[in-house]
């Protein structure tokens, strides 16, 4: 199944190692996740509101939305990396029942980050230590995460590099000597060292050119074949279409649609007007923008946050739509009949 050193971390009995039985039990169950930031003067910024989704072993879920919609805050919340003024609600359960939102820093640092959730960062150039070689950083991660004896570290680091398709010949280079694609692979290799069953990729393709976006997305996707789950956060719909099993669309802090990728990108297409608008804005489709701007998270309207920009908005939209059946909308686009 999986290669490389196994995590000696505390895995409760009965927990399935990754890759045994796909989809038997969700690797991650997020329910009612909300994050708000307290500001001076008793005001709040509601960055994530009542988000919920499940991620099965081997599944790739892509969370799409425009910048500032709260998707990166959601990722930080799962890793316990929110700043001090953040308040969270809801649950995010790993497969053994550990609640990521309730766990203390010690548990997160010693058993979760790197071991059960591997983070593929947004900007590998900023994530890697500039003054040390890739090998030295990988060996440090091996030492910290697996406790491998000195003698085994070199081989373990090389194995992790190989899994991320990072060429062994480049291991002794410093980050500035790597191209964007290789730096991305080095960062991915670091995320793979702990053999975590869940990979969390936060905008891994921002600023890369199209070929590299495709390659990075494909490589991340390949890691799900041995049973890992992938949660990718992106604003790049082309990358999402390429690798997603499931798509979650976020707008103004809320997940407004959760749908299988084939239906979302193919026929009959998304049901939420915002999601339809996003797809229509692609240059390979109509290339027409949505009117207006998203609302500020500090001043969300009481009803549907998208109503002001929505072609289908009506009186009902003054009330917030509930998220049911994978959709939060009073006027879902009527799915066109699938053409054979």
Partner 1 sequence: MLELRSITAGHGRGTPAVRDVSLTLEPGTSTGLLGPSGCGKSTLARVAALLHRPDRGTLVLDGTPVTRWRHRAPREQRTAVGVVFQQPRLAADPRLPLHDLIAEPLRACGRRPEVRTRVPELAGRVGLGADLLGRRPHEVSDGQLQRACLARALVLRPRWLVCDEMTAMLDASTAAALVGVVEEYRADTGAGLLAVGHDPVLLERWCDRTVHWSELAGRTP
Q: List interacting residues with partner 1 (CB under 8 A).
A: 65-68, 179-180, 206-212, 235, 237-238, 277-279, 281-284, 287-290, 292-294
User: In the complex, what is the shortest distance from the CB of residue 59 to partner 1, in angstroms, rounded to a whole number?
Assistant: 24
Cα end-to-end span (Å), the chain? 39
Nearest residue (CB) to partner 1, 70 versus 90: 70
Nearest residue (CB) to partner 1, 167 versus 207: 207
Nearest residue (CB) to partner 1, 260 versus 291: 291
Nearest residue (CB) to partner 1, 297 versus 328: 297
Q: Which of 330, 239, 277, 327 is nearest to 52 (CA)?
A: 327
Burial tier of 42 (Cβ tally within 10 Å: 0-12, 13-18, 19+): exposed
Would you call the peptide bond into 212 cis, given omega within 30 degrees of 0 as the criterion?
A: no
User: In the complex, what is the shortest distance from the CB of residue 263 to partner 1, in angstroms, rounded to a whole number?
Assistant: 19
CA angle, 127 then 128 then 133, to 5°: 175
Give dist(CA 54, CA 38) in Å, integer.
28
Measured on CA atoms in the order 264, 53, 254, 208, is the torsion positive or negative? Answer: negative
CB atoms within 10 A of CB 158: 18
User: In the complex, what is the shortest distance from the CB of residue 124 to partner 1, in angstroms, rounded to a whole number?
Assistant: 13
| Structure-token match 């990728």, residue found | 261
> Parallel, antiparallel, or unpaired: how do β-strands 86-94 and 60-64 relate?
unpaired
User: In the complex, what is the shortest distance from the CB of residue 289 to partner 1, in angstroms, rounded to a whole number?
Assistant: 4
User: In the complex, what is the shortest distance from the CB of residue 283 to partner 1, in angstroms, rounded to a whole number?
Assistant: 4
Nearest residue (CB) to partner 1, 155 versus 296: 296
CA angle, 144 then 147 then 149, to 5°: 120
User: In the complex, what is the shortest distance from the CB of residue 212 to partner 1, in angstroms, rounded to a whole number?
Assistant: 7
Give dist(CA 186, CA 121) in Å, integer.
11
Alpha carbon of residue 313 to chain centroid: 30
User: In the complex, what is the shortest distance from the CB of residue 179 to partner 1, in angstroms, rounded to a whole number?
Assistant: 7
User: In the complex, what is the shortest distance from the CB of residue 173 to partner 1, in angstroms, rounded to a whole number?
Assistant: 16
Nearest residue (CB) to partner 1, 54 versus 66: 66
Beta strands in the chain (DSSP E): 28-38, 44-55, 60-64, 86-94, 117-120, 198-202, 229-234, 246-251, 254-260
Nearest residue (CB) to partner 1, 108 versus 241: 241
Nearest residue (CB) to partner 1, 12 versus 293: 293
User: In the complex, what is the shortest distance from the CB of residue 214 to partner 1, in angstroms, rounded to a whole number?
Assistant: 11
Strand (E) or helix (H) holding 105: helix 105-107
Give dist(CA 270, CA 305) in Å, integer.
18
Structure tokens at 207: 């600023």
Nearest residue (CB) to partner 1, 16 versus 206: 206
């Amino acid at each position: 199944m999986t290669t490389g050193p196994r995590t000696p971390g505390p895995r409760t009995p009965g927990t399935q190692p990754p890759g045994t039985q796909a989809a038997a039990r969700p690797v991650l169950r997020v329910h009612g996740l909300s994050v708000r930031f307290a500001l001076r003067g008793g005001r709040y910024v509601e960055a994530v509101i009542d988000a919920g989704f499940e991620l099965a072993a081997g599944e790739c879920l892509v969370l799409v939305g425009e910048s500032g919609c709260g998707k990166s805050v959601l990722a930080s919340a799962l890793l316990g990396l929110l700043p001090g003024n953040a308040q969270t609600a809801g649950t995010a359960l790993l497969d053994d029942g550990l609640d990521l939102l309730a766990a203390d820093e010690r548990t997160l640092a010693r058993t979760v980050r790197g071991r059960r959730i591997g983070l593929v960062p947004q900007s590998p150039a900023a994530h890697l230590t500039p003054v040390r070689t890739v090998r030295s950083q990988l060996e440090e991660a091996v030492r910290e995460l697996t406790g491998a004896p000195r003698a085994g570290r070199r081989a373990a680091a090389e194995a992790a590099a190989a899994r991320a398709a990072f060429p062994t010949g480049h291991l002794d280079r410093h980050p500035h000597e790597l191209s964007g694609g290789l730096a991305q692979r080095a960062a991915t290799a670091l995320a793979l060292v702990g053999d975590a069953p869940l990979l969390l990729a936060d905008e891994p393709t921002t600023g890369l050119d199209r070929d590299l976006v495709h390659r990075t997305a494909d490589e991340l996707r390949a890691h799900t074949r041995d049973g890992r789950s992938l949660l990718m956060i992106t604003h790049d719909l082309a990358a999402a279409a390429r690798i997603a099993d499931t798509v979650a669309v976020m707008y103004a802090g809320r997940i407004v649609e959760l749908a299988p990728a084939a239906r979302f990108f193919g026929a009959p297409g998304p049901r939420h007007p915002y999601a339809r608008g996003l797809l229509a804005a692609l240059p390979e489709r109509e290339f027409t923008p949505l009117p207006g701007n998203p609302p500020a998270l500090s001043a969300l309207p009481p009803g549907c946050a998208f109503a002001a920009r929505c072609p289908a908005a009506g009186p009902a939209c003054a009330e917030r739509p509930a998220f049911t059946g994978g959709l939060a909308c009073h006027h879902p686009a009527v799915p066109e009949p699938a053409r054979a």
